Amino acid sequence: MDFDLPPEHASFRDAVRELAQAVALPVAAEVDRDHRFPEEAVSAAAEAGLMGVLIPREYGGAGLDALAFTLCIDELAQACASTSVIIDVHTSVGSEPILLFGTDEQKRQWLPRLASGELLGAFALTEPAAGSDAASLKMTARRHRDDYVLNGTKVFITNIGRAGLYVVFARTGPEERAAGVSAFLVPAETPGVRVGQMFKKMGLNGSPTGELVLEDVVVPVANRLAAEGQGFTVAMRALDSGRIGISGQALGIGQAAVDESTALLRGRTREQGDDFTLADMATRLESARLLAYNAAWLCTAGRPFTREASVSKLHCTDTTMQLALDALQLAGEEGAVSGSPFERHVRDAKALQIYEGSNQVQRIVIAREVIQ
Amino acid sequence: MDFDFSEDQVAIRDTIRELVQDRVAPRAAEIDEKAEYPKDIERLFAENGILGIPFPEEYGGISGSSVTICMGIEEIAKACATSSLILAVQALGSYPILVAGSEEQKRRLCPPLASGEKVAAYALSETGSGSDAAAMKTRAKRHGNEYVLNGTKQFITGGSIAGTLVVFAQTDPEANHKGISAFVLEKETSPWQSSKLEHKLGIRGSPTAQLVFEDVKVPAANRLGEEGEGFKLALAVLDRSRPGIGAQALGIAEGAFDYALNYARERKQFDQPISSFQGIQFMFADMATQIEAARHLVYLAATKVDAKAAGLTKTAAMAKLFASDMAMKVTTDCVQILGGYGYISDYPVERMMRDAKITQIYEGTNQIQRVVIARALLK
C-alpha cells in the first residue's frame, strides 16, 4: 500500500501547474466574464502536448495514464475551470473512444490530429428527451450503401462550434433502447452539420455549450466506431473514464477554494468558526482526492473501475460544491461580487454535479453494484 | 502508487475476519447488554497473536505496522466495537514505549504485551483536563531512584484491567506542558486503584475507569524519555493512534452497512424488497461512497505512520475526523433503514449507532481534530 504519486507523475503535475498558473489563471476571470473561449490557454496546452495525454506516442500523444490525466485536469481546473472542461472533454469522451474502440485505420486517421490539438474533440450523446436516460436517444443513422445518413439534434454539447470532430451516438436499427445505438465519428465540416442554439450558462462560461444539429449528414461506414449496436457500450465505457476527468476538475476547483480560503484566513483575525470550516473543507477534499486517484489507478491497472469512478465522481463533485459554498461564506460579501473567484467557483462547481451522469445517476450506478 | 494491501496483510486480515465471525460476532450483543469486559475475547486475541500486531518481531510481536493494526481494528469493529478496543488500546498503550522507550525498556516491557500475557492502557485525561491535556494535575515527585505518583485519571479505557499502564504526570508543575513526563507502571510493582467504572452509551463492554494514584512508586527506569518530554510524546502517540480510531469507526460503519444491506434485500413492503426503492438505494450509494472515502483517509494516515512521513499530524486528524463523523451518519441511517426494528436491541444496528458516538469524542474530540487541522493549514 502506497499512496504517494510516482515521481514521474509528480513532475508531470508540476509542469502542468506551471503552465496553468502562467497561462490559464490570468485569463480565468475575464473568460468567465466575457463568456469567451480561452484561446491562449488551450493553445498553450496544445503546444505543451496536453491535448494528447492519453493518446499513445505512436499516434503523437504523450502516452500517459489515467492518473496523469486526472492530475492534468486538476491543475488546469485550479487555474481556470472552463479551460479544464474543454481539455477534459476533448481528451476523455472526445478522443478516448477512438483509442479504445477504433480500428487501426481510424486511430491513424484521427488520433494524431486530436493529440496535437489540430482537432478539438467533442462527445454528442445527450438529446432534448434523452439525458440521464441516454438509451432513449432518437437521432437516426440510416445505412445507405457505404454511408450512413444522420439526422437529429443533440444538446448540451461541450466544445460545440470549436470541435473538429464529434463522437456522435445514433440509432441504426429497430432494436429498442441501447441495443439499437451505434457510434460515429462526424467531422465538423461535413455538410449538414451545424451549431444550433448556444446555451448561456451560470458557470463554465468560457466553455461553449450548445446544440448540435445534424441534417442529412452523410458519413462513410469507415467512420462508424465499433460494430453496429455497440454504441451504447462505447458511450458507457467513455463515461467511466470521463468520470475520472470530472473528478479531476472537481479536485481542481476544490483545491482553489481551499487555497483561496487559506490565504483569506491568514490575512485576517483568526476565528475558530472559520478555522473549523477550513478544517472540514480540507478534510473532505483530501478524501475526494484519494477516491479519484484510486479510480484512476484501477483504470490504469486494467481492473474494473465503474463503481469506483462513480463513487469518485459523486464524492468529488458533491464535496467541491460544498467547498465552493463554504469558501464563499468565509469570504462574505467581497466573495459574492462578480469577478471574485469565490463566486465563480460556486457557479462552475454546480455543473459538475450534473454533467457526465448527474449525481443521481451515479447513485443509481453505485447502488446497482452494491445491492446486487 | 498502490492502493492494495500486501499479501501478508490480506492473510492476517482474513484470519482475523474468520475468527471474528466465528467467535466475536456471536458474543457482541451479550457483551453490550451485560456491559462486562469480554475477558474471553481478550484471551482469544492473545492466543491468536492479535495482541502482538502492534509490536515488531524483535519485541515479540508479529507486525508493528499501523496499516496492519488498522486492518485488525477495522475487522473486529465490524462485529463488536468493544472487542476492537482491546487491540486499539493495546496499540495505544504500547506506542509510548515503542516511540520513546530506550532499547532496554522496549526489550523489557514489550514482550509480555506482545504475547498477550498483559494488556496495556494509556492514562492522559483527568476530570479537569480533557481536551486541555496540558492542564493535568497528577504529580510525579522524584525520590532517589523512583518517582511517587499522586493524582486521579479519568476515562481511562481498560485502566482497570491493564497490566501495563502509561501515565502522564507533572514532574515540574511550574513548567506547564513542558513539565509533563511519561511513566510506565506495571501492576505488580506499581499498583494503582480503579475507583469507579463508567456506565456508558456505547462500547459498554470496554471498562472505562477512573484511576487513583496514592503514593504509587515507579522506578526511574520506567520513565519514558527525559523529564518534561511527556506532552510531546502524548501528542506523538495520538498522531499514531488516531488512524486506529478512524479504523474502528470505519469497521462500525461497515458492520452496520452490511447488516442493513442484507436486511433491505430481504425486507418486503408493498410487495417488493425495500432495496428496490430508489430512496433506499440512494442511501446505500451515499453510505458506500462515504465509507470508501473514509477508508482511504484512514489507510493514508496509517501508511504515513509506518513511513514516518511528513504531515502525519494533519492526515491522522483528518482520518479520525472524517471516519468518525461518517460512522455516526452511516449508523444513524442504517437504524433508519431498519425502521422500528433498527431501534430495538434484537437487531445490532442500534448498538452500532451507540458505539459510533464515542469515536467522535475520544482520542481528541472532533473539535480538537479541527483545531489540529486548521493549525496545520494556517501555520
pLDDT of A57 above 90: yes
Would you call B378 and A2 a contact, using CB atoms and an 8 Å cutoff?
A: no
Q: How does residue B109 score in pLDDT terms, banded at 50, 70 and 90? A: very high
From B279's Cα to the closest Cα of chain A, the distance in A is 10
Selected residue of B296, B313, B334 to mutate for chain A interface (largest A Cβ count, 10 A): B296
Q: Which residue of chain B is at minimal alpha-carbon distance from A262?
A: B378
Would you call B374 and A1 a contact, using CB atoms and an 8 Å cutoff?
A: no
Residues on chain B bordering chain A, Cβ-to-Cβ distance under 8 angstroms:
1-6, 9, 67, 261, 264-265, 275, 278, 281-282, 284-286, 288-290, 292-294, 296-297, 299-300, 303, 315, 318, 321-322, 367, 369-375, 377-378
Could you tell me whether strands A140-144 and A193-198 are parallel, antiparallel, or unpaired per DSSP bridges? unpaired
Would you call A276 and B367 a contact, using CB atoms and an 8 Å cutoff?
A: yes
- Per-residue pLDDT, A170: 98
Chain A residues touching residue B378 (CB < 8 angstroms)? 262, 265-266, 270, 275, 278
Would you call B288 and A3 a contact, using CB atoms and an 8 Å cutoff?
A: no
Chain B residues touching residue A272 (CB < 8 angstroms)? 371
Q: How far is CA A283 from CA A109, A286, B366, in A?
A: 45, 5, 12
How far apart CA B277 and CA B268 sit, in angstroms, is 11
B254 belongs to the catalytic site: no
Neighbours of B361 (CB within 10 A): 16
Would you call B374 and A278 a contact, using CB atoms and an 8 Å cutoff?
A: yes
User: CB distance from A293 to chain B under 8 Å?
Assistant: yes
What lies within 8 Å, CB to CB, of A77 at 6+ separation is A83, A84, A85, A248, A249, A250, A251, A252, A253, A256
From A237's Cα to the closest Cα of chain B, the distance in A is 20
Q: How far is CA A25 from CA A18, A21, A51, A300, B9, in A?
A: 10, 5, 18, 29, 44
pLDDT of A10 above 90: yes
Mean per-residue pLDDT, A20-37: 98
What residues form DSSP beta bridges with A224?
A184
Would you call B285 and A366 a contact, using CB atoms and an 8 Å cutoff?
A: yes
Selected residue of A65, A271, A276, A286 to mutate for chain B interface (largest B Cβ count, 10 A): A286
pLDDT of A58 above 90: yes
User: CB distance from A295 to chain B under 8 Å?
Assistant: no
pLDDT tens for each residue of A176-226: 899 999 999 999 999 999 999 999 999 999 999 999 999 999 999 999 999
Chain A residues touching residue B6 (CB < 8 angstroms)? 1
Output the average pLDDT for chain B: 97
Q: B194 φ, ψ to 5°?
A: -105, 125
Q: Which residue of chain A is at minimal alpha-carbon distance from B320?
A: A283
- Per-residue pLDDT, A48: 97
pLDDT tens for each residue of B172-231: 999 989 999 999 999 999 999 999 999 999 999 999 999 999 999 999 999 999 999 999
Task: Name the one residue in this structure whose C-alpha cell is 502492534.
Answer: B54
What residues form DSSP beta bridges with B216?
B149
pLDDT of A5 above 90: yes
- Per-residue pLDDT, B133: 86
User: CB distance from A276 to chain B under 8 Å?
Assistant: yes
Would you call A1 and B292 a contact, using CB atoms and an 8 Å cutoff?
A: no
From B18's Cα to the closest Cα of chain A, the distance in A is 22
- Per-residue pLDDT, A271: 96
How far apart CA B8 and CA B14 sit, in angstroms, is 10
What lies within 8 Å, CB to CB, of B28 at 6+ separation is B79, B80, B82, B83, B348, B351
Would you call B3 and A283 a contact, using CB atoms and an 8 Å cutoff?
A: no
Would you call A291 and B264 a contact, using CB atoms and an 8 Å cutoff?
A: no
- Per-residue pLDDT, A228: 96
% of chain B with per-residue pLDDT over 70:
100
* Of A326, A331, A321, A336, nearest in space to A250 by CA: A321
Size of interface A-B (CB pairs under 8 A): 129
Q: Is the distance from CB of B313 to CB of B238 less than 8 angstroms?
A: no
Q: What DSSP line would sit under A285-336, residue for residue?
A: HHHHHHHHHHHHHHHHTT---HHHHHHHHHHHHHHHHHHHHHHHHHHTHHHH
Q: Which residue of chain B is at minimal alpha-carbon distance from A280?
A: B370
Q: Which residue of chain B is at minimal alpha-carbon distance from A316?
A: B293
Q: Which residues of A are catalytic?
A: 356
pLDDT tens for each residue of B129-148: 988 988 999 999 999 999 99
**Threshold 0.90, pTM exceeds:** yes
Selected residue of B263, B370, B375 to mutate for chain A interface (largest A Cβ count, 10 A): B370
- Per-residue pLDDT, A234: 97
User: CB distance from A262 to chain B under 8 Å?
Assistant: yes
Q: How does residue B117 score in pLDDT terms, banded at 50, 70 and 90? A: very high
- Per-residue pLDDT, B131: 87
pLDDT tens for each residue of B7-60: 999 999 999 999 999 999 999 999 999 999 999 999 999 999 999 999 999 999
- Per-residue pLDDT, A372: 84
pLDDT of B73 above 90: yes
* Of B237, B235, B229, B238, nearest in space to B172 by CA: B229
How far apart CA B204 and CA B90 sit, in angstroms, is 18
pLDDT tens for each residue of A225-277: 999 999 999 999 999 999 999 999 999 999 999 999 999 999 999 999 999 99
% of chain B with per-residue pLDDT over 90:
98
Would you call A1 and B1 a contact, using CB atoms and an 8 Å cutoff?
A: no
When CB atoms are compared, the residue of B278, B281, B378 closest to A265 is B378
Chain A residues touching residue B297 (CB < 8 angstroms)? 283, 286-287, 290
**Complex prediction ipTM:** 0.92
